[in-house]
A and B are shown apart, each in its own frame.
Chain A
């Protein structure tokens, strides 16, 4: 009875979360395409900024939570931390790929090329490749404990790259513009800053929905593996 009630509560929280996320994303779209002012130099294409930048920060947030969950897993050896870690890292990779692709599609009309091998772009690509490798490693180890330990180490290693990506355009001269988020000297218009932060909040909500679903998938996979072992053991 208690388990059933807890499951019902979890389903209600999920449903409310999905509805709220959809509402926030709709509001963010309105702000991006209707409310935000046009940028003077680049014009309408600058609006790519409102999903390019929050995608990067949502990916950073996901990878950081994934890294912390990995440290917790190595410390406590509880499967729920491994589930959280894989969920955050996989979803974070989706946001990182969105960031890279939208960046390329923004660079083409503004820089004239899709890609420049500058420090910011290269370190971000490296970050995405680390987590791509993480997922390949995850699918290539059969033993649950070994897989979780190896992946936790890679996840922590990936987390270390995040400050390097963030600081890349401060430490090295890059074609990529200087940071505007969490930076008072960014020179961003107040209305643009409001839209940027609102979109970031909406993307964090989307991250939460995706991470919950992916964690559940991992729990189901673990349950399925345990049952399969039970069947073969008989």
Chain B
């Protein structure tokens, strides 16, 4: 019974760790892209002001 319970927790843990890691990676990638977009927009505005 306890031996089987161990496998249940391994499977359950694996499933949720994978989902949480993927959601975390989505959040990090989104934040990075938002930052890049802000930097690019600022660069374009600066170029516009210079010209």
Contact = CB atoms under 8 A, between A and B. Distances in A.
Interface string A193-234: 000000000000010001001101100110110011011001
B33 A220 contact: yes
A105 B7 contact: yes
A166 B11 CA distance: 22
B26 A210 contact: yes
Given A101-B15, A102-B11, A108-B7, A224 B22 contact: no
B41 A94 contact: no
A146 B3 CA distance: 52
A55 B15 contact: yes
Interface in B29-47: 29-30, 33-34, 36-37, 40-41, 43-44, 47
Interface residues of A, number: 34
Contact of A109 (B7, B30, B34): B7
A234 B48 CA distance: 10
Given A213-B30, A221-B33, A45 B8 contact: yes
Contacts of B12: 48, 51
Given A42-B4, A220-B30, A230-B44, A106 B11 contact: yes
A98 B40 CA distance: 37
Contacts of A210: 22-23, 26
A52 interface: yes
Interface of B: 1, 3-5, 7-8, 10-12, 14-15, 18-19, 22-23, 26-27, 29-30, 33-34, 36-37, 40-41, 43-44, 47
Closest 8 CB pairs of A and B: A45-B4, A105-B11, A227-B40, A220-B33, A102-B11, A48-B11, A109-B7, A94-B22
